[in-house]
Every structure is written in structure tokens, then in C-alpha cells.
Structure 1
Amino acid sequence: MSLLLAVIYLIFVSLGLPDSLLGSGWPKMQVEFGVPSSYAGYVFMMISAMTIISALLSPKLIQRLHVKWIVTVSIMLTVFGLLGFSFCTQYWMLLVCAIPYGLGAGAIDAAMNHYVANNYSGAVMNFLHCFYGVGAMISPYLMALAIKVAHWNEGYRWTAFLQIGILLVVISSWSLWQQNDSKTDESKIDSAGIKETIKQPGVMATLLAFFAYSAGEATCFLWVPSYFAGTRTGISSELVASFGSLIFGGLMIGRLIAGFIANRLGDRRMIRSGTMMELIGILLTALPIKGYLVAAIGFLIIGIGMGPIYPSIQHMAPINFGKRYSAAVIGLQMAFAYMGSTFMPTVFGILQQKLGIWIMPLYLLVFAGLSFALLELSYRQEARL
């Protein structure tokens, strides 16, 4: 069990590695490709669209395939996408390479969250998502180092090499996955489909809340470095790229803390506490203070607040809706999360191009409030069951 859990931790690191590369590298990539800053949103949208397709297919994949096969193929697709990005010389090539990049993300995310939610505690779920933050925090530093000593392409290439190493570990661990098969097979029995699941009380409100949460999170993933580049002066390109790790570092810290207290407080209290912390961070980023330190602390606090929200919503699925619906609920949650990730950072890109990137704290505030309100509504609807 300990060896299997160690492998699962490593898989969650691999989930985070690709997510922060585009935001960290875009200020340099934009100049090289000669496109407007908002064009990052279209690449992000293509990645997320592929992830939505993959996530919607995940309930059937979970029903028919062992999770180890879903993980293995998904990581392979991600490696192909990362290597493809590393060889891109024109903007359109990014859109093509975004296809395997995105397809590799959705099914593995849904499959792993379903597997962990049905086999492990809320504390383990938060610790695992903490390791997602580790992966997402590593890659901006890889990109910053690549920009400093080589070229942005190397940031993608080095990340692909890390993913290949994780893939080899996963392949060598196939025999370990049999340990939880009885519990996992039990959760697959008589699993509901998407059409039936979406009609259950509280499901739609939860999905829309996930959309709103992910809209704010993904906007941070993509635009934090650009926010500092657009609102602060005298900052080097390497420092701007490294700011991409603020949210991911905050997510890691928030989930590490949540791992110690989640079993005591429960998922709903963790979500409420995290939202309050997120609002404090947004307020700090909005303060009209010169220099970058206060805003940097604000984005770190936003990440800490966001930390327990995502894993807590996922972990609640079997408890709130039952094991019959959990696979479909988690797959739908992933799809709605990536819909938020697909469209809302792009919408922000268009807005900031017209109004200025200073509107970012206000944009984040809107989606934090929506996510909180919709989750509270879903709890009331579930209570009527």
C-alpha cells in the first residue's frame, strides 16, 4: 500500500508539471511568434477543449479499463504534446501540439480522483493534490532557467524528460494496482451514466461551482506572470516567468495544511475556509501599492485559499451522491472544470487587452463569489434528498 501510494503521489506531480508552462513561457513566446498577448488564450482553449473530451469519456473508460492503463496512455500523450511544443517554430504548430497535450490530461485526472476518492481519506486526497502543486511549481522554474540559459523550447523539453521518468515508474508499478481492485470494482458495479447523473439534486449546482472555481484558477495559471509584466516596471523576464509559480506554490502549501486538518474539519468547512483565504489574497493584489512584493504575497495567499477547494469537492462526490454516481459526477466535474479553464482565461485575455490587465483582481473576485454561492446552493439541494 505504501509503495502504491508513493506511485500515486508521483502521478499527481506529473499532473501538475504541464499546467504552468504556457503562462510562464508566454511573455517570451508571444514576442517570438509575433502575436497579440491574448493569443495565449487560444492555445489554452485548445488544450482545455481536448481535456473536456477526454474527461467526458472518462466514466466509460473507468468502467471498461483498469486505472493503470488510463494513467499510462495519458502520460504518454502528455509527453508527445510537450515534445511537440518544444519543436514549435510557428504559432499554428502550438495549436496542433495542444491536441495530445490536452487529451492526456482529462481522463487521468478523472480516473485518479475517482480512484482516490473511493479508496482513501480526505486527508490523503489533499496531500495528493499538494503534490500536484509540487509539479506545477517545478515547471515555471524550469521555464525560467531555460529562458535564462537556453531558450523557452527547452523548458518544454526538460519537462517532457521528467514525464518520461514518471512514466517508467508507473509502468514498473503495474503489479501494485491489484491491491485495491476489490474496492474499485465494487464502485464500478451498476454505475450510472452521465444523463442520469446530471439530473440528481445538487449535481448541476456543483458542476457550475466547479466551472466558476476553475475559471479563477486557470486565469491565475495563465495570466499571473503577464499581470506583473503589465502592472509593474523594472522586472526582469526571468523574474516575471518565475511569478508563475506563486499560485502553484500556494496550492501546494494550502493542500499540505489541509492534509493535516481535513479529516477533522470535513470537506465543506475546508471549502468555506479556503474561499475566505482566497478573498483576502484577492484584496491584497488589488491594493494600489508600488513594487511587486504585496501583490506577490496576495497571489500566494490566493493559491493557499484555493488549495483545499478542488480536492474537497472531488472527495465529496461518493459521499454526497453515492458510489453509483461518483464516477460520472467526477467525470462531469472535470469536464466543467476544463470548460471554465477553456473559455474564461480567454475571455479575460480579450478583456485585459481592451481595459488593461489591472482588472484581474476584480475578475477573480467575481468567480470566487460565484463558486462559493453555488456550492452552498448544492448543499441545500442535496439535503432535500
Structure 2
Amino acid sequence: MYSLLLAIIYIAFISLGLPDSLIGAGWPVMHQDLGVPIAFAGIITMIIAGGTIVSSLASERVTRRFGVGVVTAVSVGLTAAALFGFSTSGSFWMLCLWAIPYGLGAGAVDAALNNYVAVHYAARHMNWLHGCWGLGASISPFIMSYTLTSGWGWSSAYLIVGILQAVLTFALLISIPLWGKVNPVSPNADAHEESDDPAGRTHVPLAQAIRIPGVLLILTAFFAYCALESTAILWAPSYLVTERGVAPATAAAFASLFLLGITAGRFLAGFFADRIGDQQLIRGGFVTVALGAVLLALPLETTVVALAGLVILGLGCAPIYPAIIHSTPVNFGRRNSQAIIGIQMAAAYTGSTFAPPLFGAISAWTGMWILPLFLAVLVALGLVMSERLNARVRRRVVVR
């Protein structure tokens, strides 16, 4: 059962990544067909982000009430329904309407699955699973490209991904009895917590979870990481073109390599994650990102260094997200992990939603040259907050 459920979770993470890059890949055509400005893509993504934040914050109560298997199946089903809605939408307001269940489903399943894997599986699986998310996010632009070049239109891409999500929903519904039987005791939780609440069913209100010592530190670190990742994804190609003289086609190609670097880096990190631990992965990731930002900033005549810096930046980003999630039961206890991971997801979506437009506003005033400095500030914030949490955890262990 352990292997069967793990295989289903791997497939679920691939499926989770599939819809995330569809809008970006199809919007150049979609906005023309819908008769709206190209900037309106931000409205849809903001609605989706709002839904994910709300459902992430509610995930702890919902998951404890219905169980992670039910929440995952229903959430993926909700996402599938939203994708079918996208495929039939002939106007912009309909896309906005279907973006609501899209966001609600995505946030709930993200928080529920991440906590389940953090509690029940080793660190290597968390890295590989998030690598699978990157694989899914890399596949969907090809699906959109195929449907557009074949003359089927952008709606067919949403239909195809919606069908894949519906098939996964059926598989998840069948697998619901397995979720409570696989490795019910966490290898990452304290013994006294397991004995006090072996099933981890005690409700932890959000207000109580936020007041747990160290939670605000990890929320800030997670916000900083997701802010820098999303800012680099959106603005690095423009920076390379305007500040480093890179050809637009080359900048676009290396932007893809940045995402592939995150995906490949997570698969690679999985092979040694259990040996070096989550703290070292987070620390090493932030330091590597800092190195990439420095290489981006160097005012050299050659563009090779800046391009290499972007790839290194992606490799550095790779282990941070999975390691922060996987370390949550260790840092705060299994009983509190679902509530805290839900808040972490909300912090992540907040950072990835608001940091790119914030940088856009700053760069309009200062110039695009400030991107490496902006990333460096976020790296410093994330690293300092995570190190402060590590120090707090070490003091707690010594006291015990």
C-alpha cells in the first residue's frame, strides 16, 4: 500500500503542475479571442491566487474534518471542473468566474498533500514530488502549443488537461481507504506529540498556530523565497535583454532553463536530502541563489556569466520549497503541521502574487538594473529568518 499510494501522490503532483502554466502559455492568443487587453491576465491570476490563499488557510480545519484523501480527491475534482469551465468560456468574465473554483481547489490540495508527505514520507520524496510538479508545469505549455498549431484552439488545451485531472480524481476517489493506513506514525514528529495525539486530529486554530514560537520566522522565509522565485521567472528575461544585451530568443531559452534547473535540482536533491537534512538544504539553496544573483549583477562584456547566473539561481531555488515544507513537523510538531503548512501556502501565494508587480513598479522608477539587488534582499531576508528558526530549534533540543 505504501508504494501504491506513493505512486498516486507522484501522479497527483504532476497533475497539480499541469494547469499552472497554461494561462501564461495560451494568453497571447486567448486575450485576442476574448477581446481584452493583454494585461488582463493579471486579473485572472489574482483571482486564482486569492482562492488559493483562502483555501490554504482553511485547509487545516477541512482536512481534519474530512481526511486528506477526501480533500485531495474533491480539490482535484474542483480543479478539473474549473478547467472544463475554462475550455467552454467565450468571454473574459466567464474565465474570472471559473478562476474561483480553480484557486480554491488548488490551494486546498496543495496544503493537504504537502503536509501528508511531510508527515509520512522521507525528505527525498518531498524533493522528487516537487520535481514532479515542475515536470507537469513544463508539459502543459507543450500541450497548449500542440493544440494551437493543430488548429484546435486554446480551449482544447484546457479540455485535455481537464480530462487528465478528471481521471486523477477518479483514481484518488478509489484510493481514499489507503490514506489512513500508510505509515500512520511520522518519523519526523516528537515522541511525546505522537503519544498525546497519535492521529493528529486536534484542531489548531490559525490564531494559535501563528503564535507558536518560530512560525512567523518561517512564514517570512517562505514568503521571501516564493517572492524571489516568481520575480525571477517574470523579470529575468527582460533584465537579460535590457541590461546585459542578451538576444530576446536567448533570454527566453534561458528562462526555460531556469525552470528546468528548479525541476532537475529537486530530483537531484532527493538523492542526498535524507543524509544532509532540511536545514542544510535550505541554507545551501539560499547561498546558491545569492551566488546566482551576484553573477547576474556583474557588469561584464560577455553575457555567458549572466546566463550561467540565471541557471545557478534556478538550481539554488530547487531544494528550498520542499525542505521548508518537509521540516515543518520537525520544527513545530506533527499536531501543528497541517495548520502551519496551510499558513505557509498562503504566505507562498502572497509572495508569488505581489512581489513581481512590486518589482515592476520599482523598476519603472529606478530601472531594470535593480533586479539582482531586489533578489539579494529577498535572499538575505529568507536566509536570516530560516537561520533564526534553526537557532531556536537547536535551543529547544538542548533544553530537552
Query: TM-score scaled by structure 2?
Result: 0.83
Letter of the 1:180 partner, please give it.
V
Q: CA RMSD in A?
A: 3.1
For 1:164, the equivalent position in structure 2 comes to: 166
Higher relative contact order (CA 8 A, sep 6+): 1
For 2:288, the equivalent position in structure 1 comes to: 277
Quickly say closer, same or farther: Cα 1:166–1:270, change in 2 above 3 A: same
For 1:102, the equivalent position in structure 2 comes to: 103
Letter of the 1:162 partner, please give it.
L
Letter of the 1:311 partner, please give it.
P
Quickly say closer, same or farther: Cα 1:45–1:226, change in 2 above 3 A: farther
Quickly say closer, same or farther: Cα 1:313–1:38, change in 2 above 3 A: same
CA distance in 1, matches of 2:91, 2:362: 25
Letter of the 1:77 partner, please give it.
L
8 Å contact from structure 1 (residues 23, 244) kept in 2 = no
For 2:222, the equivalent position in structure 1 comes to: 210
Quickly say closer, same or farther: Cα 1:355–1:298, change in 2 above 3 A: same
Counterparts of 1:155-194 in structure 2 under 5 Å? 155-180=157-182, 182-183=184-185, 186-194=198-206
For 2:327, the equivalent position in structure 1 comes to: 316
1:59 aligns with 2:60: yes
Counterparts of 1:26-105 in structure 2 under 5 Å? 26-30=27-31, 38-105=39-106
Deviates further, 281-290 or 115-124 = 281-290
1:91 CA displacement? 3.6
For 1:140, the equivalent position in structure 2 comes to: 141
CA distance in 2, matches of 1:349, 1:39: 16
For structure 2, the 5+ residue unaligned runs are 187-196
1:273 CA displacement? 1.2
8 Å contact from structure 2 (residues 254, 311) kept in 1 = no
1:159 CA displacement? 2.3
For structure 1, the 5+ residue unaligned runs are none
1:10 CA displacement? 0.6
8 Å contact from structure 2 (residues 70, 173) kept in 1 = no
8 Å contact from structure 1 (residues 136, 248) kept in 2 = no
1:187 CA displacement? 4.1
Give a deviation string over 1:62-117, Cα, whole Å, max 9, x none: 21112111111111111122233334444443322211111111111111111111
Give a deviation string over 1:113-161, Cα, whole Å, max 9, x none: 1111111111121121111111111112223333433344433333223
Residue of structure 1 aligned with 2:210, choices 189, 195, 198: 198
Quickly say closer, same or farther: Cα 1:45–1:196, change in 2 above 3 A: same
8 Å contact from structure 2 (residues 73, 169) kept in 1 = yes
Quickly say closer, same or farther: Cα 1:144–1:243, change in 2 above 3 A: farther
Deviates further, 156-165 or 3-12 = 156-165
1:265 aligns with 2:276: yes
8 Å contact from structure 2 (residues 54, 346) kept in 1 = yes
Quickly say closer, same or farther: Cα 1:46–1:219, change in 2 above 3 A: farther
8 Å contact from structure 2 (residues 209, 215) kept in 1 = yes
Quickly say closer, same or farther: Cα 1:75–1:297, change in 2 above 3 A: farther
CA distance in 1, matches of 2:294, 2:32: 31
8 Å contact from structure 2 (residues 237, 248) kept in 1 = no
Larger radius of gyration: 2
Give a deviation string over 1:16-66, Cα, whole Å, max 9, x none: 112222333344445555655554333222111100100011110121112
1:257 CA displacement? 1.2
Q: Quote the sequence identity (%).
A: 43
Letter of the 2:77 partner, please give it.
M
CA distance in 2, matches of 1:358, 1:25: 29
CA distance in 1, matches of 2:302, 2:157: 28
SS of alignment partner, residue 178 of structure 2: helix
- Alignment size in residue pairs: 382
1:327 CA displacement? 1.4
Deviates further, 106-115 or 18-27 = 18-27
CA distance in 2, matches of 1:58, 1:319: 20
Letter of the 2:221 partner, please give it.
A
Give a deviation string over 1:294-342, Cα, whole Å, max 9, x none: 6665444322211111111111111111122111111111111111122
For 1:24, the equivalent position in structure 2 comes to: 25
CA distance in 1, matches of 2:155, 2:372: 30
CA distance in 2, matches of 1:92, 1:297: 41
8 Å contact from structure 2 (residues 120, 184) kept in 1 = no
Query: TM-score scaled by structure 1?
Result: 0.86
Quickly say closer, same or farther: Cα 1:80–1:219, change in 2 above 3 A: farther
